[in-house]
Amino acid sequence: MESCAGRAHRLGHEWARHFDSYQLYRELGFDVAIDHAGSIWLIEQNTAPSHALFARNKQNLAPYRRIQYRWGVFQRALKANKRA
């Protein structure tokens, strides 16, 4: 049986493919809820999600650092394309 975290990860990819099917997004954020039965509910999707929540988790900054790194890669690629 698939874990709740595994289902959430898989659903995130499915939702991203769905939203990208009619418009490409650089970044998507999903607000979800998980009920007592383990069902995962999509509350809303955001095309410009905030990263500040990840920075507050001082015990595990790895997700925040990963987001910041990928944002930097994206920004450098944009600048390189403008020069080309």
Question: What is the reported pLDDT for 70?
Answer: 86
pLDDT in tens, the chain (84 residues): 688 889 999 999 999 999 888 787 778 889 999 999 999 999 999 988 888 888 999 999 998 999 899 888 888 888 888 886
Question: What is the reported pLDDT for 1?
Answer: 67
Residues 1 and 41 in one domain: yes
Residues 5 and 33 in one domain: yes
Report residue 32: phi and psi, to 5°.
-130, 160
Residues 32 and 61 in one domain: no
